[in-house]
Amino acid sequence: DAFDTHVEPRNGLHIHVNRKSFFSKTEERKFIALWNLGDPKSQAFLSMLSRRTTPLKDQNYCKPHPSLQHRTPYYLLGIGLDDPDGVSNRRVSCHTTSATVEVRIFQSIFDLDHILNCIQIVGAMHQFASESSYSCVKPGFTDMFTDWVRSRKGYIRVKNILDGKK
């Protein structure tokens, strides 16, 4: 009863992850890059996870970072994200702050289940970035992520979303 569940497509739910939770700068970069991939398959997948009704690329406050589009994994995992204009833009899907990495793709608050789903999605992506090789940062990473989630115990909420359940 305490949540404003008025669905406003322009509003969003943001999740902050402590930057100290990443084992390395490269792991943090993988995590950020995955949220900012701009290829159609990755964007359709991230839009589905986010529950946004408008594609992320058409959003004003959570689109893939334009300077990261069509870049090689080497760029994304290397100097590209340390660039002053790299991921400091607060209007992109995922960016850094001084102490956190902020994931901004999620639709506004529907209910407590939606909040818990978003938290678990971010947790799964964090673990995926930690356990996966650099090759996961590529267009269409979605199959690799889906297989990874399905092979793990837990992540029930994410598995339900992947199966089309809410």
**What is this structure's pTM?**
0.84
Query: Which residue is associated with the tokens 């204009």?
Result: 85
pLDDT in tens, 76-134: 666 445 444 444 566 678 888 888 999 988 888 778 888 999 999 999 999 999 999 88
pLDDT in tens, 49-72: 988 777 777 776 667 766 666 666
